[in-house]
C-alpha cells in the first residue's frame, strides 16, 4: 500500500563540485517528483538576471567626440575600441559601487585587459585585447565603472553622463551561463525522487557559489512580500552537521569530555548524553541534575570550557534548533 503523505519530503543533501575557479556544479536532493525543476528554473532566472557585477557605463577619449570617431595612431576606430572594452570584465576593489579611472598609453604597444589594472580596479580578463597603438601615438581616456544588475542600455544613462563622455550599453551580469539537469535518486527503495544539478559559470567577477548565494537572497526577498500579509509558518531548517563546526562539536557524546565515573553517571542517568545538551542548560539547570554534587558540577563546567563552550552558552539560533531536534530524536 502506498504511504499517504501530508507534506512533501524536504531535501537535506547539498553538495558543491568545484570544476574550476569560475565554474561549479551545485547539487541538492532528494526532491519529490516534479519539485526539482520547479526550484531549478526560477533559480536559473535569478542567477542570470539578478547577479551583481561591474561594467563601464561611459568613456571619455581624448580627441574623440563620438563613437564613430577615430584617434590618430590607433589601429581600431572608436566603435571597435568600445566593443573591445565591453569584453574586458572589471572588478572594483573594496566593493566600491562606482569609480572613474584615467589611463594614459604611448605607442607602439598593444593594450590588453591586464594593462588596465590599478590599485582601485582589478581586471578578470587580463588577456582581452583593447587596442593597438602605432609608434609616436598616444591614447588618453577615462572610464566610468559602475555596479549593477542585468543589462542597461546607454539611453537610460545618457542624461547622467558628463559632457565629453560617450554613454555605453552596460552588461553587468557576471554569470556567463546557467544550466541544470534533473537526475533520479533512490530513497528507501523508491527510485522516483529527484536530484537537481545546477552548472554555474561566471566571468570571474564573482565565484559561482557566491552568485548562487546572492540569487537565493534575492529570491527570498521577492517572496517576503507575501509573508508581510499572510503569516506563513516557516519550516525549521537544520543546518548540515558537516557545514557547522559548532553543531558538529556540540553533537559529540559526553564520553569525549573525559569525566570521572561519578560525574558521567549523574549525567547519563539523567539522559544527558550530548555536550550540546550541557551547553544549552542554564547554570541552575545543571546544578539541579539529580545527585550532582558541587565537585562534579565544577568538573563538568571545567571540562566543557576546555572543549570550547560554557554552560548556558549563547549559541546561534540555527545551532540551537538543530541541537534541540537531535535531543528530541534520541
DSSP string, 223-261: HHHHHHHS---PPP-PPPGGG-HHHHHHTSBGGGG---H
> Which residues are 178's β-sheet partners?
200
Domain ranges of the chain: 13-51+175-229, 52-171, 241-328
pTM: 0.65
Identify the CA nearest to 53 among candidates 87, 83, 97: 97
pLDDT confidence bin for 238, thresholds 50/70/90: very low
pLDDT, averaged across the chain: 86
Distance CA(112)–CA(132), nearest Å, equals 9
- Judge contact between 298 and 248, C-beta under 8 A: no
- Judge contact between 118 and 109, C-beta under 8 A: no
- State residue 73 phi and psi, 5-degree precision: 90, -5
pLDDT at 208 over 90: yes
- Judge contact between 299 and 260, C-beta under 8 A: yes
Q: Is 63 left (phi over 0), alpha (psi -120 to 50) or beta?
A: left
- Judge contact between 296 and 263, C-beta under 8 A: yes
Fold of 13-51+175-229: Gyrase A; domain 2 (3.30.1360)
For residue 295 the three cell numbers come to 565537585
* Lowest mean pLDDT across 122-131, 146-155, 170-179, 239-248: 239-248
pLDDT confidence bin for 240, thresholds 50/70/90: very low
- Judge contact between 292 and 245, C-beta under 8 A: no
Task: Quick: pLDDT tens for 62-115.
Answer: 988 888 888 899 999 999 999 999 999 999 887 788 889 999 999 899 999 999
Give the pLDDT score at 123. Answer: 94
Give the pLDDT score at 279. Answer: 84
Fold of 52-171: RNA Polymerase Alpha Subunit; Chain A, domain 2 (2.170.120)
> Longest Cα pair distance anywhere in the chain, in angstroms?
93
Handedness of CA 139, 81, 175, 217 (dihedral sign): positive
Please determine, looking at this structure, whether the domain spanning 241-328 carries the CATH number 1.10.10.10. Answer: no
For residue 201 the three cell numbers come to 559559470
CA distances from 72 to 77, 115, 140 (A): 9, 20, 12
Angle of CA points 228, 231, 234, to nearest 5°: 105
Amino acid at each position: 500500500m502506498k504511504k499517504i503523505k501530508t507534506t512533501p519530503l524536504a531535501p537535506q543533501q547539498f553538495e558543491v563540485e568545484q570544476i574550476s575557479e569560475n565554474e561549479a556544479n551545485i547539487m541538492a536532493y532528494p526532491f519529490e517528483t516534479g519539485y526539482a525543476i520547479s526550484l531549478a528554473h526560477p533559480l536559473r532566472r535569478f542567477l542570470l538576471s539578478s547577479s551583481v557585477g561591474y561594467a563601464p557605463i561611459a568613456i571619455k577619449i581624448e580627441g574623440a567626440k563620438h563613437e564613430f570617431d577615430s584617434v590618430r595612431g590607433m589601429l581600431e576606430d572608436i566603435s571597435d575600441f568600445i566593443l573591445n572594452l565591453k569584453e574586458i570584465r572589471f572588478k572594483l576593489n573594496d566593493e566600491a559601487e562606482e569609480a572613474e579611472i584615467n589611463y594614459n598609453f604611448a605607442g607602439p604597444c598593444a593594450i590588453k585587459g591586464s594593462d588596465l589594472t590599478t590599485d582601485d580596479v582589478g581586471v578578470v580578463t587580463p588577456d582581452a585585447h583593447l587596442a593597438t597603438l602605432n609608434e609616436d601615438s598616444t591614447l588618453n581616456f577615462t572610464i566610468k565603472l559602475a555596479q549593477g544588475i542585468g543589462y542597461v542600455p546607454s539611453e537610460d544613462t545618457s542624461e547622467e553622463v558628463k559632457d565629453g563622455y560617450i554613454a555605453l550599453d552596460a552588461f553587468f551580469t557576471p554569470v556567463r551561463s546557467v544550466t541544470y539537469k534533473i537526475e533520479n535518486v533512490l530513497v528507501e527503495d523508491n527510485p522516483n525522487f529527484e536530484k537537481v544539478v545546477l552548472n554555474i559559470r561566471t566571468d570571474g567577477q564573482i565565484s559561482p557559489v557566491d552568485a548562487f548565494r546572492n540569487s537565493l537572497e534575492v529570491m527570498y526577498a521577492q517572496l517576503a512580500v507575501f509573508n508581510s500579509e499572510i503569516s506563513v509558518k516557516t519550516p525549521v531548517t537544520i543546518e548540515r552537521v558537516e557545514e557547522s563546526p559548532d553543531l558538529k562539536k556540540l553533537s559529540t557524546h559526553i564520553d569525549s569530555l573525559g569525566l570521572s565515573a561519578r560525574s558521567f553517571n549523574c549525567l547519563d542517568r539523567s539522559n544527558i548524553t550530548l555536550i550540546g545538551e550541557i551547553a544549552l542548560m542554564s547554570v541552575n539547570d545543571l546544578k539541579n541534575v539529580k545527585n550532582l554534587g558541587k565537585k562534579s558540577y565544577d568538573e563538568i563546567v571545567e571540562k566543557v570550557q576546555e572543549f570550547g563552550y560554557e554552560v548556558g552558552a549563547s549559541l546561534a539560533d540555527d545551532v540551537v534548533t538543530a541541537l534541540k531536534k537531535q535531543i528530541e530524536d534520541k
